[in-house]
Amino acid sequence: MSSADARALLPAREQSTSLGRPGAATAAGLALGALADLLLADPRRRHPVAGFGQAAAALERRTWRDSRAAGAGYAAVCTGTATAAGVLAHRLTAGRPLARAALTAVATWAVLGGTSLGRAATTMERHLADGDLTAARAHLPTLAGRDPSGLAEADLVRATVESVAENTSDAAVAPLFWGAVAGLPGLLGYRAANTLDAMVGYRSPRHLHFGWAAAHLDDVLNWLPARVTAALTVLTAPLVGASPAGGWRTWQRDGAAHPSPNAGRCEAALAGALGVRLGGRNVYGERVEERPVLGEGRPPVRGDIGRAVRLSRAVWTAAAVLAAVARLARRR
Rounded to an integer, the average pLDDT of 170-180 is 97
Is a pLDDT exceeding 80 seen at residue 37?
yes
pLDDT in tens, 238-266: 999 999 999 999 999 999 999 899 999 99
User: How far is the C-alpha of 90 from the C-alpha of 285, rounded, in Å?
Assistant: 42
pLDDT in tens, 180-191: 999 999 999 999
Which carries the bigger pLDDT value, residue 9 or residue 23? Answer: 23
Query: pLDDT class for 205, splitting at 50, 70, 90?
Result: confident
Query: pLDDT class for 287, splitting at 50, 70, 90?
Result: confident
Q: What is the pTM of this model?
A: 0.90
Least confident interval from 52-56, 204-208, 230-234: 204-208
pLDDT value, residue 290: 85
Is a pLDDT exceeding 80 seen at residue 1?
no
